[in-house]
């Protein structure tokens, strides 16, 4: 099997990069990592060496380039079909795909007002227009997933799936901005934070030196 290479942005800020990175770690895939700090003078030219969209993450595998976090996870699910990337049960899988797609295409208010930041805490900040609605919807997604499908484990569908990888950046946003959560969401936040891979990502983020003022308060 050819080597897998994942091109990512800054670990402190790049929420899209975290998703496939975490999924690959959780499913035990070995991969080479290329980190391109974003929004520097040469970031765009460096990113475009790998990414047709000029954005990260990008997966390189043999002669193939896959860009976009969801496309990467779906490609990995097809390439490593013995691993359980999505829930086994069809109903649970449809639900998992729906909430993953909802995360992928939605929650603009949360994204804009509460940028991911692993190393700085901004308690109470970021509650701009529409953010509380996004937070409420995420709390309700986590509750419904775990209640309906999660009784075999701690994650949204019991075992870790792509859906958890997609909500992991939100976990970091909730921690950074000290968002008020219900008991179920607090528990889920702790479960995700306790993953070795998450700790590895956070520690690496803390060691990064780039500061992007547009993502700081
Ligand atoms: N929908 C894409 C979004 C990727 C994206 O927006 N990546 C940001 C970093 S987190 C980026 O590369 N920004 C650099 C730029 O826009 O120049 C995905 O899921 O991968």
Give the tens place of pLDDT for each residue, 124-177: 999 999 999 999 999 999 999 999 999 999 999 999 999 999 999 999 999 999
Distances (CA, A) of 144 to 22, 99, 116, 184, 192: 23, 11, 24, 10, 17
Domains of the chain, each with CATH number or no CATH = 4-83 (3.40.30.10), 90-201 (1.20.1050.10)
pLDDT (tens digit per residue) in 56-74: 999 999 999 999 999 999 9
- 30 pLDDT more than 90: yes
Among the residues of the chain, which ranges form H helices? 15-26, 43-50, 69-79, 90-105, 108-113, 131-149, 162-176, 183-193, 196-206
Q: Please tell me the predicted confidence (pLDDT) of residue 1.
A: 79
Checking if the pLDDT of 200 tops 90, the result is yes
Rounded average pLDDT over 46-58: 98
Arithmetic mean of pLDDT, 23-31: 98
CA distance 21 to 3: 15
Nearest CA owner, ligand 1 atom 2: 68
54 Cβ below 6 A of ligand 1: yes
Q: Please tell me the pTM assigned to this model.
A: 0.98
* pLDDT band at residue 120 under the 50/70/90 scheme: very high
Of all atoms in ligand 1, which is nearest to the CA of residue 9? 9
Distance 90 CA to ligand 1 centre (A): 30
- Percent with pLDDT over 70 in the chain: 100
Counting residues of the chain whose pLDDT is more than 90, the rounded percentage is 100
189 band by pLDDT with thresholds 50, 70 and 90 = very high
**Ligand 1 atom at minimal distance to the Cα of residue 70:** 19
């Amino acid at each position: 099997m050819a080597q897998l290479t994942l091109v990512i942005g800054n670990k402190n800020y790049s929420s899209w990069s975290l998703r496939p990175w975490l999924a690959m770690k959780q499913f035990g895939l070995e991969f080479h990592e290329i980190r391109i700090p974003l929004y520097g003078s040469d970031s765009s030219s460096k990113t475009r060496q790998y990414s047709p969209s000029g954005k990260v993450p990008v997966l390189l595998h043999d002669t193939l380039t896959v860009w976009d976090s969801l496309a990467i996870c779906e490609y990995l699910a097809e390439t490593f079909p013995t691993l359980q990337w999505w829930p086994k049960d069809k109903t649970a899988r449809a639900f998992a795909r729906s909430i993953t797609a909802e995360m992928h295409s939605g929650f603009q208010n949360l994204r804009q007002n509460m940028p991911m930041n692993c190393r700085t805490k901004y308690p109470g900040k970021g509650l701009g227009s529409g953010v509380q609605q996004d937070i409420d919807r995420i709390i309700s997604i986590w509750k419904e997933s775990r209640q309906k499908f999660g009784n075999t484990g701690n994650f949204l569908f019991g075992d870790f799936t792509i859906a958890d990888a997609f909500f992991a950046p939100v976990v970091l946003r909730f921690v950074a901005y000290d968002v008020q959560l219900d008991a179920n969401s607090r528990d889920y936040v702790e479960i995700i934070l306790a993953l070795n891979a998450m700790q590895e990502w956070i520690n690496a983020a803390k060691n990064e030196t780039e500061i992007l003022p547009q993502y700081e308060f």
